[in-house]
Each structure stands twice: as structure tokens, then as C-alpha cells.
């Protein structure tokens, strides 16, 4: 399967999301071959937590940092590509999703220029949505396999953070739909079973697992486990 063509012009945010995107090709040396013949089946979203997109771009392409991603989207909607989709970028690190490790070999990584504490811009989200549509079609990636870094690495990572608009992606069928029903009784073993069924299989204690699920679905949630924590995980 092909990847996005390397381009020379920045792509500004557009409303016509079926238009092919032409990223700025800015190659990173930090990549390798996907292992065991794997092809992308996941998309992992990150925030850069840096002062600017340019600073993030330099870090993602610095061989001494040993980190990269396939794409970086600036807050103004500028799209850079650093690693071919066919190759394994170094963006996810240790973690697991649905019982599968080596997320780097199974995924495409997208970095979003954001500190984690402020809203994501409309131009940035428009380009992200277009990119998700095109990659999902290209690699037959289902909406429920678009995840956050914090989903596959609970406790270790917090991106794309509490300000990321997951429900917007869900409404566009670009991320898995959350459930609505809450149980009558609240038990941690039942919550853990639901979370694992949803994909949260990485090793995590009860508090860390609850925090990771809340970060994705209800970042305002505080205190002990409650019925509302079950609802988004329900079938």
C-alpha cells in the first residue's frame, strides 16, 4: 500500500477533507523496518508538549534523541511528514493495546503541536481529520483503533491530554464510539474487565487504570470509581 506523497508545500486547513493532503517532507533518521511483517493497524495520537512546532520538528529529526513520528501537525494546520507510513517510527515506546505489544510496528504516530494544557486549534483539527480519513482508508484501520498515547501506556504517558476533543472524532466516526449505559453496582474487577475488553491491557494498578480511562473519556472525573466511569466502556 502507498503512503502520502512527499511534498514541498505546506497544506493549510481546508474544509474539504476528501482532498488529498500534501505534507512537507522533512525526513527523520529515527526509524526502522516494521517487525514480523506487520502493517499499520493502529493510529496513535500524541501532543508535543514543546514550545513550538519547529522545536518539536527538530527534536523528532534529531538522531541523538532517538524519537520520531510519522506526522506532525502544527497549530496553524501545517502538516509535516518525517517517516514513511510503511516504516516503523519511534513514537510509542513501551506499552500494549488489546494484548499486543510493539505498538511502533503496528501503528502510525501523529504528533500534534500542543502543550497539553490549551485547546487544539481548528486548523489543526481539520487537517487531523483529513489525515485520519485517508490513512484509515489506506490501511483499513477501524475507528476504535485510533487511540491516544495514554491509552496504550497508562501512567507513563498522558497525551494527547485532557483538552483533546475525542467526542468530535467519535461524531465523525474517526474514533471508537463510547458506550452510554452504567451498571447498578460498582466493582473494580468489573471495571477492569470492561477496560481490558476495550483495549486497556497494559500492566497498570487500579488507580492508574482508572486515571487512564478517565483521561480519555471523562477527564473531569475525580475521586473513587463511580458508575459514570463504566458507561463509556460499555458495549
* pLDDT in 10s for each residue of the chain, 235 residues: 333 333 323 333 334 446 789 999 999 999 999 999 999 999 999 999 999 999 999 999 999 999 999 999 999 999 999 999 999 999 999 999 999 999 999 999 999 999 999 999 999 999 999 999 999 999 999 999 999 999 999 999 999 999 999 999 999 999 999 998 877 789 999 999 999 999 999 999 999 999 999 999 999 999 999 999 999 998 7
Q: Which residues pair with 47 in a beta bridge?
A: 112
First to last CA, the chain: 32
Active site (annotated) includes residue 111: yes
What pLDDT score was predicted for residue 114? 98
Alpha-carbon dihedral 47, 50, 51, 53, rounded to 10 degrees:
-60
**Strand 31-33 relative to strand 87-89: parallel, antiparallel, unpaired?**
antiparallel
**99 in the Ramachandran plot: left (φ > 0), alpha (ψ -120 to 50) or beta?**
left
Q: Please count the other Cβ atoms lying within 10 Å of the Cβ belonging to residue 218.
A: 16
- The structure's pTM equals 0.92
Helix residue ranges, H only, 140-165:
149-152
Task: Name the catalytic one among 111, 129, 144, 170.
Answer: 111
Model pLDDT, residue 18: 63
> Are the CB atoms for 122 and 73 separated by under 8 Å?
no
* Helix, strand, coil percentages for the chain (3-state, nearest 5): 30, 15, 55
3-state DSSP call for residue 81? strand
Q: How far apart, in whole angstroms, are the C-alpha atoms of residue 181 and residue 146?
A: 22
Q: Are 165 and 47 in contact (CB under 8 A)?
A: no
Amino acid at each position: 500500500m502507498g503512503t502520502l506523497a512527499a511534498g514541498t508545500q505546506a497544506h493549510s486547513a481546508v474544509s474539504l477533507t476528501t482532498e488529498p493532503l500534501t505534507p512537507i517532507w522533512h525526513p527523520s533518521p529515527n526509524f526502522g523496518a516494521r517487525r514480523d511483517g506487520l502493517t499499520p493497524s493502529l493510529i496513535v495520537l500524541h501532543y508535543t508538549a514543546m514550545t513550538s512546532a519547529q522545536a518539536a520538528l527538530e527534536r523528532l529529526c534529531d538522531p541523538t534523541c532517538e524519537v520520531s513520528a510519522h506526522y506532525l501537525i502544527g497549530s496553524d494546520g501545517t502538516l509535516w511528514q518525517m517517516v514513511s507510513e510503511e516504516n516503523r517510527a519511534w513514537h510509542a515506546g513501551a506499552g500494549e493495546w488489546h494484548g499486543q505489544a510493539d505498538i511502533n510496528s503496528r501503528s502510525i504516530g501523529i504528533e500534534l503541536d500542543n502543550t497539553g494544557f490549551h485547546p487544539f486549534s481548528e486548523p489543526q483539527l481539520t487537517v487531523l481529520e483529513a489525515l485520519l480519513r485517508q490513512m484509515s482508508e489506506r490501511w483499513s484501520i477501524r475507528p476504535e483503533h485510533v487511540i491516544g498515547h495514554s491509552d496504550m501506556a497508562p501512567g507513563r504517558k498522558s497525551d494527547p491530554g485532557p483538552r483533546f476533543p475525542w467526542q468530535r472524532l467519535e461524531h465523525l466516526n474517526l474514533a471508537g464510539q463510547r458506550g452510554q449505559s452504567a451498571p447498578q453496582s460498582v466493582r473494580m474487577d468489573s471495571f477492569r474487565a470492561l477496560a481490558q475488553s476495550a483495549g486497556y491491557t497494559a500492566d497498570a494498578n487500579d488507580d492508574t487504570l482508572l486515571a487512564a480511562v478517565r483521561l480519555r473519556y471523562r477527564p473531569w472525573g475525580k475521586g473513587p470509581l463511580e458508575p459514570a466511569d463504566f458507561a463509556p466502556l460499555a458495549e
